[in-house]
Structure 1
Amino acid sequence: MKKLFNENGTLPEFPRDEVRAAITKGIQQAEEQSNMSQAPIQMKRKSKRKPLLYVASAAAAFSIMVGSAAYVSPTFASTLSQLPIVGSVFSNSGFLGLKQASEQGLTSTIGEKQTINGISVTVDEVLYDASNITVGLTIDSEKELSDEYFGAGFDLTINGETPETGSGSYGEKVISPTVRTGIARFDVKESMPDSFEMGLMLKGEEGEKWKYAVPVKKISDSIYVPVNHQQQAEGIQLDVSKISLSPSGIALDYKATEKGSIDNPQLSASFIEFRITDQNGKEITSHSGGGEGHFDNGVWNFSSIKSFDPISEDVQKLTITPYLALPSDGGGVQMDKDGVETKIPFDKSALKEVKFQPFTVEVPKQTK
């Protein structure tokens, strides 16, 4: 893949005056509408997650990527609509972790702009932390764009290769009919290298393709806290190995196993989420995250890295409570070794409620 970003070169000029003028106009319009209806500005949200995807595996017969389209953190869907975006998409996004990371210089400023059919898309900032790769972008068009013009957002490659599994989400803040900002998130997998060339492709409604190649490196400002917590509940074996703490947020690593069959991956263990509170009972906002798993010797093995807001300096202890976030609908696709797909229907009646026990983690003093 051709490398479009030159670390030693001059970044393309970003038309900030024009964009800010459009933003100001959009904000004024939004304020006028708000004064009349008192209704909040709406932001559309699309998820790149597929509820269930099977991929043939020579060793273990199948591997799978899971994520619930019916359960996504409402924070991602609403936060961007609450604040005007002027300047850094991250610092003004309303996401505490992105704001802190940007203000502390942990993000990579890209500023690469491409214009196709009168639509300019600028990749502004990128953050690669323990749980997500997050991309901030600005879109400025000569014509009015439809709500779904960019579909589900960016497609991702790693050093020119498409990841075997992956999930993420994409949300936009509509500033005016021709100006909007967006945030794309890709869930981090254990197999990802600490640094690589990230390929991004955004597809437009009329067949346009904006392509970027961006060098990314995982931030080093993270403190890894061993947890090694294990518990069993209703046939589920849960193992939370560690959490990481950084200015961009908390990342929680876990694995879960449950007996089943290759024809029934819709097990309770695939819908595990976590609630985190501090010593005062204040809940740390969750941003959820996708997951993946594989079937081996009669057992489904699921794993994921869940993300949360960063904690304040006075937090000394975290209480972590696992729970199930069962979806209302879903489904999947099974793919054999020849690439033949078979649809798997969703059966909520096959899922059962499970009660897990909470546990606590001491926060190291050096995080303050």
Structure 2
Amino acid sequence: MTDKIRLFKEEIDSIQVPVDKLDEIILKTVQTNKQKRRRSFRKKAAYCASAAIVGFGLLMSSASFSPAMANIVSKIPIIGTVFSESGEPGLEHVNEQGLTNVVGATKSIGGMSITLDEVFYDETRLTIGFSMTSDNPIEEFYLSSGPNITINGKGFSNASTYRETEISPNYRTGIINIDSIDDLPEEFTLGVTFISKDGKQWDFSTPVNVKANVQSVAINHSQEVEGIELAVTDLKIGPTGFQFTFSASSDAEKNYLSNGYLDFEVIDDKGKELLSYSGSSKIQTINGKEQMTGTRLFDSVTADVKTLTVIPYFKFHQGGSSVEIDAAGKEVITELPPFKDTDFVFEDFVVTLP
């Protein structure tokens, strides 16, 4: 029995509920099923499901009689709903299609419960959904910069994005996108560790396997603008969206690639702009040239969309800071002074979908 179920049971046991009304419900249920005791082995599973429904019905009836019970029920997040409530069409789609790994593991420490809700992994993304419930309002950035990830027990420092959504003051959901997954095996054990500002720690572990329903399309488009050589090599189409793979290079003396960011605007043949939810880039200097490789993941398209118009563009940063994770899993913050130069746009090109 998990901590969440145990604590939930203890809270229920302490609540005063109208026993007479519950007895009446139970009596009617027993009388209705009294003549159906002779059941074949094949029908036992259905009987168990019915019993679970009756039990849930009794719980909801109790909630309607008792404000305290109703308060408890209202705080229970439904397992497997973080993706469906994410506002991201691709994640909502794979949730509806039952393609995610529903975990539903909960751990509670000091009045705060965290649930590792569900995981989705294919050749375009590794995404983790979780939720938090607390006896007290949850402050923003309670989990600092997000969780630590391990793959088969080893630290994993690849680029990732992390966001939280406040559902209520005492209930938040979170999405973790691992943006660089090229070196991941098809099957592995995923470790997720959450650490709060006040030092509490929640550790989770779950098996993950890749979904094999991804289609690859060769693009091999290249062009050069302002000394930056851009190549968009291929497109992967998965159930959560489509992912471009690209590379770029420029003279190291100009420092263009390390002082700005290369991105894409994508519009389908219906005139709809598609949003990007995750992606990563890596820069290294080789033989006097800055070399960038990266990916960008965009919204999925409907079946009647046949072409995409892709508009690459480059923007120089206006100052601020960047955060990287080193090999030891620690944050490295670099301050970025403004880079004074003019942003530019590449020529757009069209991709035909299969």
Instruction: Tell whether the structures are fold-level matches, with TM greater than 0.5.
Output: yes
Matched, 1:360 2:350: yes
1:56 maps to what in 2? Answer: none
- C-alpha distance in 2 between matches for 1:170 and 1:346: 21
Match of 1:154 among 126, 147, 154: 147
Q: How many residues align?
A: 292
Cα distance change of structure 1 residues 239 and 85 upon mapping to structure 2, 3 Å threshold: farther
1:202 maps to what in 2? Answer: 194
- Residue type matched to 1:247 in 2? P
Match of 1:109 among 102, 122, 135: 102
Cα deviation for residue 11 of structure 1 reads: 12
- C-alpha distance in 2 between matches for 1:167 and 1:308: 17
Match of 2:292 among 296, 302, 314: 302
Matches within 5 A, 1:121-270: 121-164=114-157, 166-261=158-253, 267=257
TM-score by length of 1: 0.70
1:121-174 C-alpha deviation (Å, 9 max, x unpaired): 01111011333321111211122322221112111122222235x222222222
Matched, 1:285 2:278: no
- C-alpha distance in 2 between matches for 1:137 and 1:333: 23
- C-alpha distance in 2 between matches for 1:345 and 1:175: 33
Matches within 5 A, 1:309-348: 309-331=299-321, 345-348=335-338
Cα deviation for residue 12 of structure 1 reads: 7.8
Cα deviation for residue 351 of structure 1 reads: 4.2
1:284-327 C-alpha deviation (Å, 9 max, x unpaired): 12224232121111111111110111100100111111012433
Cα deviation for residue 87 of structure 1 reads: 5.8
Q: Relative CO higher for 1 or 2, CA cutoff 8 Å, sep ≥ 6?
A: 1
- Residue type matched to 1:239 in 2? A
Cα deviation for residue 24 of structure 1 reads: 8.9
Tell me if structure 2 keeps the 8 A contact 1:175–1:181: yes
- C-alpha distance in 2 between matches for 1:226 and 1:289: 19
Cα distance change of structure 1 residues 266 and 211 upon mapping to structure 2, 3 Å threshold: farther
- C-alpha distance in 2 between matches for 1:300 and 1:311: 34
- C-alpha distance in 2 between matches for 1:231 and 1:24: 58
Q: Secondary structure at the match of 2:168?
A: coil
Higher helix proportion (structure 1 or 2): 2
Cα distance change of structure 1 residues 163 and 276 upon mapping to structure 2, 3 Å threshold: same
Cα distance change of structure 1 residues 109 and 343 upon mapping to structure 2, 3 Å threshold: closer
Tell me if structure 1 keeps the 8 A contact 2:215–2:236: yes
Cα deviation for residue 230 of structure 1 reads: 1.0
- C-alpha distance in 2 between matches for 1:280 and 1:290: 28
- C-alpha distance in 1 between matches for 2:308 and 2:78: 32
- Residue type matched to 1:284 in 2? L
What is the root-mean-square deviation of aligned Cα atoms in Å?
A: 3.5
TM-score by length of 2: 0.72
Tell me if structure 2 keeps the 8 A contact 1:121–1:210: yes
Q: Secondary structure at the match of 1:98?
A: helix
- C-alpha distance in 1 between matches for 2:145 and 2:74: 27
Structure 1 gaps of 5+ residues are 1-8, 27-83
Cα deviation for residue 248 of structure 1 reads: 0.7
- C-alpha distance in 1 between matches for 2:286 and 2:3: 49
Cα distance change of structure 1 residues 297 and 247 upon mapping to structure 2, 3 Å threshold: same
- C-alpha distance in 2 between matches for 1:348 and 1:125: 40
- C-alpha distance in 1 between matches for 2:176 and 2:325: 27
Tell me if structure 2 keeps the 8 A contact 1:151–1:205: yes
Cα deviation for residue 232 of structure 1 reads: 1.0
1:274 maps to what in 2? Answer: 264
Structure 2 gaps of 5+ residues are 9-55, 64-68
Tell me if structure 1 keeps the 8 A contact 2:113–2:133: yes
Cα deviation for residue 191 of structure 1 reads: 2.2
Tell me if structure 2 keeps the 8 A contact 1:130–1:251: no
Q: Secondary structure at the match of 2:93?
A: helix
2:85 maps to what in 1? Answer: 92
Tell me if structure 2 keeps the 8 A contact 1:150–1:202: yes
Q: Secondary structure at the match of 2:316?
A: coil
Cα distance change of structure 1 residues 108 and 226 upon mapping to structure 2, 3 Å threshold: same
- C-alpha distance in 2 between matches for 1:96 and 1:335: 29
